[in-house]
Amino acid sequence: MEDNKIKEYEQSLPVIDEQLNKRSDQWKLTSLSWMDYDDVKQIIRIHIFNKWEQYDPTKPLAPWVNKIITHQIKNIIRNNFSNFASPCSKCPASLPDGGCEVYETQCEKCPIFNHWNKRKKDAYNIKVPLSLEFHGHETETFQSSDNLPRWSRTYIAK
């Protein structure tokens, strides 16, 4: 059974890859710098392989694959970014530059923001990478401890 599953899947790879390549323009999430569309395609291929038993060969393959691709792209974005994003980004009272129609600024007065700030902000800060462009003072202010052997030197903040 497993051998048939692998053979059928391998024979269908050209159709799967064609559908995946059609969707490459949907991957616009540049804040996930550790993941490009090639990584996303590989994740989706594995997911399709794991669900291959659910495919009905009497029906066309492309619509089934497209449905999986759509759901997986949404899942990947949700799991890597939006689960941790500030609720203000979806709030109708949100104003540009961190403003709020109700509380003037995004702050702990808002119960939704306060909950996110206490529970998810640290995860957001870990998940979303920052460019070093404006953080040079954090990376250039380290000096080596020269009194230690080269192989065991540590870097100490000035």
Q: What is the pLDDT of residue 67?
A: 94
Task: Render pLDDT for 133-143 as a digit per residue (tens, 0 to 9).
Answer: 555 555 444 45
Q: Which of 6, 26, 7, 9 is nearest to 65 (CA)?
A: 9
3-class DSSP assignment, residue 156: strand
Q: Is residue 3 within 8 Å of residue 100, measured between CB atoms?
A: no
Q: Is residue 124 within 8 Å of residue 115, measured between CB atoms?
A: no
Instruction: Categorize the per-residue pLDDT at 17 as very low, low, confident or very high, splitting at 50, 70 and 90.
Output: very high
Higher-confidence position of 28 and 24: 24
Q: Is residue 74 within 8 Å of residue 82, measured between CB atoms?
A: no
Determine how β-strand 142-144 pairs with β-strand 104-105.
unpaired
Task: Render pLDDT for 86-143 as a digit per residue (tens, 0 to 9).
Answer: 777 778 787 877 788 888 887 788 888 888 888 777 777 766 665 555 555 554 444 5
Q: Is residue 65 within 8 Å of residue 49, measured between CB atoms?
A: no
